[in-house]
Amino acid sequence: MMHWAAKYIGHPYKEGGRGTDGVDCWGLLCLVYHQEFHIELPEIPGITATAVLAFHSALEKEVLCDWEESDWPFDGCAVAMSQKEAIHHVGLWADADGGKIIHSWKQQKVIADTPRLLALKGIKTVRYYRHSLWTQRQEVA
């Protein structure tokens, strides 16, 4: 059986995109959580790939309150990333192929990177999160 993440690799990038025609990093997280895990994430007006830093405090208040940080990644968890201190990029952990982070990065199609490859791209902080609606044994559709 093919891993759920495989169908998102190569998905087109679209600034502010939230659907099948294209996604930015937050849009990918919203799309996957909707399609695979049946969890609706909030749409925050103005939160796009390039605007996350400017809206960091709003993002924390409206979004992070629904998430609990996890010490270790698990299949489907949200991944928050940063090149500096403030989180500015998100993706998802996929247990396939030894573990990779799928994400929509800098106007590229959705890709899968290992944490090591992300470090080579300048990502210094990687944090893993479980959504409050995530069940102990989340079933993939």
Tens digit of each residue's pLDDT (9 = 90 or more) over 54-108: 444 455 555 556 788 899 999 999 998 888 777 788 899 999 989 999 999 777 8
User: Is 138 part of any domain?
Assistant: no
Predicted model pTM: 0.83
Separation between Cα atoms, residue 97 and residue 8, nearest integer Å: 15
pLDDT of residue 51: 53
Residue 140: which pLDDT band, with cuts at 50, 70 and 90?
very low
Q: Minimal CA–CA distance to 17: which of 9, 5, 7, 29?
A: 29
pLDDT of residue 47: 55
The whole domain housing 50 covers 4-131
User: Is 123 part of any domain?
Assistant: yes
User: Is 63 part of any domain?
Assistant: yes
Separation between Cα atoms, residue 132 and residue 22, nearest integer Å: 26
CATH number at residue 23: 3.90.1720.10
User: Is 55 part of any domain?
Assistant: yes
Kindly report the number of other CB atoms within 10 A of residue 105's CB atom.
Answer: 22
What percentage of the chain reaches a pLDDT higher than 90? 47
Domain count, the chain: 1
